[in-house]
A and B are shown apart, each in its own frame.
Chain A
Amino acid sequence: MSVTTSSDTLSARFAQLRGEGRRALVVYLTAGFPDPTRSVELIRAVAEAGADVIEVGVPFSDPMADGPIIQESTRVALQHGVGLTETLAIVREAQVPVPVVLFSYLNPLLAGGAGAMTQARDAGCSGVLVTDLPVGVDPEREAWFGESGLAFVRLVAPTTPDERMREIGRHGGGFVYLISRLGVTGTQDTLAPELESTVARLRAATTLPICVGFGISTPAHAATVGRVADGVIVGSAMIRAASESTQAAASLTRALRAALDGA
């Protein structure tokens, strides 16, 4: 048996950050957006600009948890013929020195068949996050992800009760993705007022690092969230920058990094 699994890569990154007293910057990018070639460039650019973890989204035809910006990016990616197979090819080609988390709806992963998670590991993924597979809904399929050698990153919502948070902590790996507010992905001007108390509830339920996503679009937001959480996740704002240029995405990443490190 190998000593180092992919999930350890993610844990090691968070341990390192914790040791340095720094917050994690997690960047989301839709695979294949704006096209497969530039998608590879984007992953490399945000890694170089200071992202600690990169979530690479598998395009899906019916992204029910996503707002307009990510919906549009998946539509464009699908037009380029990017599904799970192509997503893994993009991750493999990008070969970045930071952990990559495969971010997907369940159906494309099921369609990938029994070997899909092994292929994801081989492509260089360290973790997997499944938007529509909450804790306890399908133990057999959850076990498939949990035992894949990838860190199985779970989501927590503001509506999640304390007992369920503990359950999620027990069955999750890598970090916990805390959804900052009710709703779908997307940018917003202000942060949810109850965020701090939700982080505190979650802190009491799990020892996993807590990263906060949904609606974090500016360096100022990142700095604010960085004061209470272990990391911030930026998705829609990054996709909006990426639709301008790879340089714009890199600049946003650097600005977020600076804001987080100054926090």
Chain B
Amino acid sequence: MTASIPVNRDRFGAYGGRYVPETLIPALDALESAYEAARVDPTFQHDLSDLLEHFVGRPSAFTPAPRLGELIGAQVWLKREDLNHTGAHKINNTVGQALLARRMGKGRIIAETGAGQHGVATATICARFGLTCVVYMGEEDMQRQALNVYRMRLLGATVVPVTSGTRTLKDATTEAIRDWVTNVNDSHYIIGSVVGPAPYPRMVRDFQSIIGREARAQVLQRTGRLPRAVVACVGGGSNAMGIFAGFVDDAAVELIGVEAAGEGLASGHHSASLSLGTPGVLHGSLSYLLQDAQGQVHPAHSISAGLDYPGVGPEHSHLKDSGRATYVAVTDREALEGFTLLSRLEGVVPALETAHAVAWLAGTKGRWMPDEPVVLCVSGRGDKDVAQVRELSILPL
């Protein structure tokens, strides 16, 4: 059938929607109403700003990266989400959603996690608010990110291993949705990215848009001009949507999302849903998806657990089709080089997710004018990945 374009608030162009079991529809309606009310409620906004400043540690720093800039021939700036409490951008969203859950009187929080960053950020705010926290995590990811599993448990969360399917983020998300369907009356599901049924993609983007708002003000203040480009890694795509949101109305600013090409785009082992996927429905929304001809979801692969997801946020699909954003992909090996590169050139050890964006940027010499600002979103810090990278023995240290 032909692709339709239902125009409503649930959609980004043709993408998005609410493709979920009927049981969840009233809960999504209630969430949407609560969110719409909270958005314009000065008390909610005050509480959110207060938490972002004094608990998360915002605004996050805006750091010049002169040695990386010299390498590629541009003025590179780093938006330092790695400096947030818990070490990544994920907490911007969990703080907002936890406030919303408390407002809705929900005492139990469900979350899924891939790399563990979203799980840790959720467990953290649940501890702070005294909420019960259950985190679903693929068994394979639990092995890759054992330290984050311990951190979540330390914070009082229950971490449930997911053994179905590919045992990664996709299956953890499916399992979290099953929990929500079962416990919808007393539980709120804090989804970790700009994915899932409406209103999640828009709401998570809004909570993450603090990245873009700050970055825009900071780049203007520090350089007196808008950047030529903004670069961010894309798995589900929440850090990218967060920083893109600040610049999407500035038509001259290029928005560049970097996906995981895994073992190579031709290998079949990658997570590049925007680069190589086709529109399909997974986890409640219509978006680009890695799938076979019969509509079965194709397992994703990435060295980075946080990018290891076969789908992507629906707004990214819209930005791709409309041409407003450009999506590229880099391999596991290139990402590992990016990991080392930013560590050695700028003294910033990035998350393996971020390392994909670093790697793409490192290869862009000749693409820029020397005085042009280019902003790289450092979505998270690499402490969680050091052990994994060391085991891969890439560096003879």
Would you list which residues of chain B between 96 and 130 have a CB under 8 Å from chain A? Answer: none
In contact, B174 and A62 (Cβ under 8 angstroms): yes
Answer whether A133 and B19 are a contact pair too, CB < 8 Å, given A62-B174, A110-B281, A111-B280: yes
In contact, A65 and B294 (Cβ under 8 angstroms): no
Contact of A146 with B by CB under 8 A:
no
Task: Give chain A nearest CB distance to B9 CB in angstroms.
Answer: 12
Would you list which residues of chain B between 1 and 30 have a CB under 8 Å from chain A? Answer: 1-2, 4, 6, 10, 17-27
Chain A, 92-120, contact with B by CB distance < 8 Å: what is the 0/1 string? 00000000000001111111111000000
Chain A, 175-191, contact with B by CB distance < 8 Å: what is the 0/1 string? 00001001110000000
- For B294, list chain A residues within 8 Å (CB): 83-85, 108, 111-112
A156 to B296, CA, bound (A): 26
In the complex formed, the residue of A with least CB distance to B11 is A138
A177 to B231, CA, bound (A): 47
In contact, A112 and B20 (Cβ under 8 angstroms): no
In contact, A134 and B22 (Cβ under 8 angstroms): yes
- For B293, list chain A residues within 8 Å (CB): 111
In contact, A159 and B19 (Cβ under 8 angstroms): no
Contact of A137 with B by CB under 8 A:
yes
In contact, A106 and B296 (Cβ under 8 angstroms): no
Would you list which residues of chain A between 57 and 110 have a CB under 8 Å from chain B? Answer: 59-65, 67, 71, 75, 78, 83-85, 105-110
- For A108, list chain B residues within 8 Å (CB): 294-296
In contact, B291 and A107 (Cβ under 8 angstroms): yes
Contact of B89 with A by CB under 8 A:
no
Which of B51-59, B178-186, B326-334 lies at the interface with chain A? B178-186
- For A84, list chain B residues within 8 Å (CB): 294-295
Task: Give chain A nearest CB distance to B396 CB in angstroms.
Answer: 40
- Given B26, B182, B295, which contacts A160 in the complex, CB threshold below 8 Å? B26
Task: Give chain A nearest CB distance to B314 CB in angstroms.
Answer: 13
Which of under 10, 10 to 19, 20 to 34, or 35 or more describes the interface residues of B?
35 or more
In contact, B282 and A138 (Cβ under 8 angstroms): no
Q: Which secondary structure characterizes the binding site on chain B?
A: mixed
Task: Give chain B nearest CB distance to A107 CB in angstroms.
Answer: 4
A141 to B10, CA, bound (A): 15
- For A139, list chain B residues within 8 Å (CB): 6
Answer whether A65 and B21 are a contact pair too, CB < 8 Å, given A84-B295, A140-B6, A141-B4: yes
Answer whether A107 and B295 are a contact pair too, CB < 8 Å, given A137-B17, A138-B17: yes
In contact, A62 and B178 (Cβ under 8 angstroms): no
- For A155, list chain B residues within 8 Å (CB): 21-22
- For B291, list chain A residues within 8 Å (CB): 107, 111
- Given A67, A114, A138, A144, which contacts B6 in the complex, CB threshold below 8 Å? A138
In contact, B1 and A131 (Cβ under 8 angstroms): no
Contact of A227 with B by CB under 8 A:
no
Enumerate 24 A-B pairs (CB-CB under 8 Å) in ascending A order. Answer: A64-B178, A64-B181, A78-B296, A83-B294, A106-B281, A107-B280, A107-B297, A109-B295, A110-B281, A111-B291, A111-B295, A114-B1, A114-B2, A138-B6, A139-B6, A141-B4, A144-B1, A154-B22, A155-B22, A160-B22, A160-B26, A179-B23, A182-B185, A183-B23
| Further 15 A-B residue pairs, CB within 8 A, beyond A62-B170, A108-B294, A140-B4 | A62-B165, A62-B171, A62-B297, A83-B294, A83-B296, A85-B294, A111-B291, A132-B20, A134-B18, A138-B17, A141-B1, A144-B1, A154-B22, A164-B25, A183-B182
For the complex of A and B, 5 pairs with smallest distance between CB atoms: A111-B295, A83-B294, A140-B4, A157-B23, A183-B182
Binding site for B on A (CB under 8 A): 59-65, 67, 71, 75, 78, 83-85, 105-114, 131-135, 137-141, 144, 154-161, 164, 168, 179, 182-184
